[in-house]
A and B are shown apart, each in its own frame.
Chain A
Amino acid sequence: MPVKRLWQLPAKGADQKMFLRAILGFIGFIFALALILSLGSGLKTYFQNPPAPLAAEEFHKEPKPLDLSSDGPFGKFDKAQLQRGLQVYTEVCSACHSLKLVSFRDLKDLGYNDAEVKAFAGSGKQWKIEVPSINPETGEAATRKALPSDTFPAPFANETAARAANNNALPPDLSLITKSREGGAAYVYSLLTGWANQQGYRNEKGEELLKKFPDAKTPPGLHFNPYFANLNIAMPPPLTTDGQVTYADGTKPTVDQMAKDVSAFLVWTAQPDLERRHAAGLAVAIFLLIATILAYLAKQQIWHSDERRAVRETGVLDPENQAKTSRAKAKAKIAG
């Protein structure tokens, strides 16, 4: 008989399985140990050196609610509002922020006709930034008037130029801003109306920011805005006075109204598909609902056939099925 060594696998199948379970159980125990030790060390660190509270956590504000006509499953854009928002973007925001993914021809969605879009892009009266181009005679760098097929040309030639003009901050492209920020349009609206005087600023709990966190004073060149993640934003308030733009449709251009309009416009720039999506979704949902109902009725019809009803007679209870484990067998007094 050969000598049984520790590292030899057991020969019998049942013993091998037992061996496997023992090894795996040991591994599971080690992982659990590593995790419990992690838990212990984490809790110890937390209670010995509790993390200092952060001004950005305690004074950051969630966006204010904003109702837009594009909200909800049946939402549609308010075209007059989008046109006003375009005006705010053109006259205010476009000084620093690009809208690189949007083409002028897309503006037809806002209710403009071809001639109006062409005039907006290329007449030089409404849209003033020209498109980088080359001089057809000399091949030197030049600019030309925008065409409906162009995307909105950016205010700065490149990132370096943008940073140089903005105290080393980079104004983000606005095409997708309402999709790329938590809170979407409500965040944009809250931010645009959210600049506050930091001196004496209190949160909802009534705590005064500079008393609780004297170090949180906004550094020079930044501006205090509690809706911004770290409370200090490089952008100075762009919408400062009522009547900063003059609306053609007679809407009163308060700061609040302008902020709402441009937020609505930026919902459209991020999701020009929204209305088509809502309409197509309704059609697809109705189609699938009818398909589901018809398919369900078909299933009921099939499952109530005679064949389905034909079931086996019940025989004597099979003790093998009654008691599968050894304990159950012992309980039921079945041998083996």
Chain B
Amino acid sequence: MSFSWAKPYEPKHPLARWLDERLPLPRLVYGAIGGGYPVPRNLNYFWNFGVLAGIFLTIQIVTGIVLAMHYYATADGAFNSVNQLIMRDVNAGWLLRYAHMNGASFFFIVTYIHIFRGLYYGSYKAPRELVWMLGLVIYLLMMATAFMGYVLPWGQMSYWGAQVITGFFSAFPVIGEPIRVWLLGGYAPDQAALTRFFSLHYLLPFVIAGVVILHIWSLHIPGSGNPTGVDVKDEKDTLPFHPYYTAKDGWFAAGFLLVYALVTFYVPNYLGHPDNYIPANALATPAHIVPEWYFWPFYAILRSCTFNLFWIDAKLWGVLAMFGSILLLFFLPWLDKSPVRSGNYRPVFKRFFWLLVIDVIILGYVGGAPIVWWRTALGQIAAAYYFLHFLVILPLVSAFETTDPLPNSISESVLSGDAREAPVAVAG
């Protein structure tokens, strides 16, 4: 977009020219995801996950709109409308429901890969700080949407999940409990909570879509990053988005949807929890209340705080740590001061990055499993490392690390074999 060599949109057909003078929508699309957007030529497959996230957002919105046509947002009708009407009586209702249920999980899988891609390749650094921060806003909205969606079938985990998550607010002294009651519309999750969660669950995906537009817009000002982290220098460093990256994204998306289809059709309940097939019961607490898998690392951080430090009690520490663990990511562009973006050229950073990946996996495991003393201890160490990693280790590493030499340019980094030996011969 911002490159001088970006191909201009030149409509040939008179009708296209007529439209372009009045409503240049095709021009916008051409510049955004067509031949008019130059992309670094050396992207690897980790750069496919943004498009995949967009695909899953679309799948969720489409299946969700149809499910909403059959769903009853009432405390005594919600469970049956999902498990009887939709799963048994609506034509292909089981497919819609399983696709939506697993679509949420896959949306998070691709989003997590997308986020860790950004962490490794320094995608949060100047000039893309706002791209990163808008992405985090999308992630927070996704979490809110997924949580409220999980409440809608009104099973046991729906109910008790709503109970626990809205309970976070009551950890704050004085104002906490009134806020919780105000959010729920009552003292416990019930009809009022269910109806407003349904309303917001329908609204938020469109808010996400709006922020996605801002995310892409702010990305297209500096243009996409790349695995070397070296800036684009001239036309030879880039390829037009279409057809190169549409083709690359296309086949990868088809392959990824194959994995999604296999889970949806053959193990549709693998990522869920059996207790959510029991109708909500305010009088029977499940033995182990756990959120969906994509919240496990944060749930582990929440449960890890068991010590009253200073004048703040353990529960509030847990809630602060959990929110803090996400909010600190907004400061990442200023925590990491290394001018080198890509982890490929940062030997020390690279090691800590993989340590962080392992750390988050451990947190996820601890958050999803029942409480045992050694698991709690492991979770506490992992949670402490999480904070130290971002707030202490990363700034220090970025200040003291000796980075490896960067390639001269993107084109140089992709040259190999014959091309490297005789670059002039293949130059166009």
Binding site for B on A (CB under 8 A): 17, 20-21, 24-25, 27-43, 46, 51, 73, 101-103, 106, 151, 172, 175-176, 179-182, 229, 270, 272-273, 276-278, 280-282, 284-285, 288-289, 291-292, 295-296, 298-299, 302-303, 306-318, 321-325, 327-328, 331
Q: Are A35 and B387 in contact (CB under 8 A)?
A: yes
Q: Besides the contacts A292-B258, A327-B401, what 10 more A-B pairs have beta carbons closer than 8 Å?
A: A25-B391, A31-B324, A34-B317, A35-B321, A281-B266, A309-B428, A310-B236, A310-B427, A314-B408, A314-B423
Q: Are B305 and A38 in contact (CB under 8 A)?
A: yes
Q: Are A321 and B251 in contact (CB under 8 A)?
A: no
Q: Are A277 and B268 in contact (CB under 8 A)?
A: yes
In the complex, which of the residues B94, B247, B405, B423 contacts A298, with contact meaning CB atoms closer than 8 Å?
B247
Q: A20-B331, A292-B254, A311-B426 are in contact. Are A41 and B338 (CB under 8 A)?
A: no
In the assembly, what is the distance between CA of A114 and CA of B339, in Å? 74
Q: Are A324 and B340 in contact (CB under 8 A)?
A: yes
In the assembly, what is the distance between CA of A200 and CA of B265, in Å? 46
Chain A residue nearest to B320 in the complex (CB)? A31
In the complex, which of the residues B261, B275, B426 contacts A285, with contact meaning CB atoms closer than 8 Å?
B261
In the assembly, what is the distance between CA of A299 and CA of B253, in Å? 12
> Can you identify 12 A-B contacts, CB atoms within 8 angstroms?
A24-B328, A25-B392, A28-B388, A29-B392, A36-B380, A103-B88, A277-B95, A310-B428, A311-B427, A321-B405, A322-B405, A324-B403
Which residues 212-253 of B have a CB within 8 angstroms of A? 230, 233-234, 236-237, 239, 243-244, 247-248, 250-251
Q: Are B395 and A25 in contact (CB under 8 A)?
A: yes
Residues of chain B lying within 8 A (CB to CB) of residue A39: 377, 380-381, 384
Q: A306-B428, A324-B403, A325-B340 are in contact. Are A311 and B309 (CB under 8 A)?
A: no
Chain B residue nearest to A330 in the complex (CB)? B402
In the assembly, what is the distance between CA of A172 and CA of B84, in Å? 16
Q: Are B261 and A321 in contact (CB under 8 A)?
A: no
**Chain B window 319-360, contacts with chain A (Cβ cutoff 8 Å), 1 for yes, 0 for no:** 011001000100100110111100000000000000000000
Residue B311, interface by CB 8 Å? no
Q: Are B380 and A35 in contact (CB under 8 A)?
A: yes
Q: A38-B304, A281-B265, A322-B406 are in contact. Are A303 and B426 (CB under 8 A)?
A: no
Q: Which of B80, B264, B387, B423 gathers most chain A CB within 10 Å?
A: B387
Residues of chain A lying within 8 A (CB to CB) of residue B287: 229
Q: A29-B391, A32-B384, A331-B402 are in contact. Are A42 and B373 (CB under 8 A)?
A: yes
Q: Are A315 and B251 in contact (CB under 8 A)?
A: no
Q: A298-B251, A311-B414 are in contact. Are A317 and B408 (CB under 8 A)?
A: yes
Residues of chain A lying within 8 A (CB to CB) of residue B419: 309, 311
Q: Are A295 and B426 in contact (CB under 8 A)?
A: no
Q: Are B265 and A288 in contact (CB under 8 A)?
A: no
Binding site for A on B (CB under 8 A): 41, 80, 83-84, 87-88, 94-95, 98, 230, 233-234, 236-237, 239, 243-244, 247-248, 250-251, 254-255, 257-258, 261-262, 264-266, 268-269, 274-278, 287, 304-307, 309, 314, 317, 320-321, 324, 328, 331, 334-335, 337-340, 373, 376-377, 380-381, 383-385, 387-388, 390-392, 395, 400-403, 405-409, 411-412, 414-415, 419-420, 423-424, 426-428
In the complex, which of the residues A106, A313, A322, A327 contacts B88, with contact meaning CB atoms closer than 8 Å?
A106
Q: Are A311 and B236 in contact (CB under 8 A)?
A: yes
In the assembly, what is the distance between CA of A318 and CA of B234, in Å? 15
In the complex, which of the residues A17, A51, A270, A318 contacts B408, with contact meaning CB atoms closer than 8 Å?
A318
In the assembly, what is the distance between CA of A307 and CA of B240, in Å? 10
Q: Are A277 and B384 in contact (CB under 8 A)?
A: no
Residues of chain A lying within 8 A (CB to CB) of residue B402: 325, 327-328, 331
Q: Are A37 and B266 in contact (CB under 8 A)?
A: no
In the assembly, what is the distance between CA of A41 and CA of B385, in Å? 18
In the assembly, what is the distance between CA of A225 and CA of B411, in Å? 69
In the complex, which of the residues B254, B268, B309, B388 contacts A291, with contact meaning CB atoms closer than 8 Å?
B254
Q: Nearest-CB distance from A5 to chain B (Å)?
A: 23
Q: Are B247 and A295 in contact (CB under 8 A)?
A: yes
In the assembly, what is the distance between CA of A318 and CA of B366, in Å? 47
Residues of chain B lying within 8 A (CB to CB) of residue A318: 408-409
Q: Nearest-CB distance from B296 to chain A (Å)?
A: 17
Residues of chain A lying within 8 A (CB to CB) of residue B428: 306-307, 309-311
In the assembly, what is the distance between CA of A306 and CA of B427, in Å? 10
Q: Nearest-CB distance from B284 to chain A (Å)?
A: 10
Residues of chain B lying within 8 A (CB to CB) of residue A328: 402-403, 405
Q: A25-B392, A25-B395 are in contact. Are A312 and B88 (CB under 8 A)?
A: no
Q: Are B373 and A46 in contact (CB under 8 A)?
A: yes
Residues of chain A lying within 8 A (CB to CB) of residue B317: 34, 38
Q: Nearest-CB distance from B192 to chain A (Å)?
A: 23
In the assembly, what is the distance between CA of A176 and CA of B309, in Å? 46
Q: Are B406 and A324 in contact (CB under 8 A)?
A: yes
Residues of chain A lying within 8 A (CB to CB) of residue B388: 28-29, 32
Residues of chain A lying within 8 A (CB to CB) of residue B247: 295, 298-299, 302-303
Q: Nearest-CB distance from B56 to chain A (Å)?
A: 15
Q: Nearest-CB distance from A224 to chain B (Å)?
A: 19
Residues of chain B lying within 8 A (CB to CB) of residue A103: 88
Q: Are A321 and B406 in contact (CB under 8 A)?
A: yes
Q: Nearest-CB distance from A195 to chain B (Å)?
A: 22
Residues of chain B lying within 8 A (CB to CB) of residue A317: 405, 408
In the complex, which of the residues A25, A35, A310 contacts B426, with contact meaning CB atoms closer than 8 Å?
A310
Q: A34-B317, A292-B254 are in contact. Are A20 and B334 (CB under 8 A)?
A: yes
Residues of chain A lying within 8 A (CB to CB) of residue B420: 314
